């Protein structure tokens, strides 16, 4: 086995777990950032890639540990790219707050 076999396996397993628990989920799962009257959907592939950069820059972990965590998050990020709206960042605020639409009203009133 070469040095990349285990990270590739970890990446594939992570992808499959994310696919089963996220892509096939019946519930809406998203993180929305509100800035003024604008809403932004923070896709999990974006946060995963940012965390990968932090992990790879870490000096205190061994190369093997960094590669395993990066591979796991890469699988998670790749699953996030399977959504048709993977590159849509701006979010309709009214659509985003389907559970608690009154929150948006409070945010708009607070910003006046």
What pLDDT, on a 0 to 100 scale, did the predictor assign at position 104? 52
Give CA–CA dist 46/79, Å, rounded: 11
Position 105 pLDDT exceeds 70 = no
pLDDT at 75 over 80: yes
96 CB-near residues (< 8 Å, 6+ apart): 30, 32, 39, 41, 104
d(CA 29, CA 27): 6
| Least-confidence region, from 43-52, 70-79, 89-98 | 89-98
Cβ–Cβ contacts within 10 Å for residue 69, how many? 19
Q: Average of pLDDT values for 92-111?
A: 58
- pLDDT tens figures, 1-50: 677 889 999 999 999 998 988 877 777 677 888 888 788 888 888 889 99
């Amino acid at each position: 086995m070469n040095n990349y076999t285990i990270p590739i396996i970890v990446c594939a397993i992570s992808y499959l777990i994310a696919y089963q628990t996220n892509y096939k989920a019946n519930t809406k799962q998203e993180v929305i950032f509100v800035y003024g009257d604008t809403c932004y959907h923070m896709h999990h592939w974006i946060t995963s890639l940012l965390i990968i950069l932090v992990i790879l820059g870490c000096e205190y972990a061994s190369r093997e540990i960094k590669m395993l965590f990066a591979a796991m998050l890469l699988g998670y990020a790749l699953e996030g790219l399977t959504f048709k709206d993977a590159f849509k960042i701006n979010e309709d605020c009214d659509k985003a707050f389907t559970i608690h639409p009154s929150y948006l009203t409070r945010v708009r009133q607070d910003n006046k």
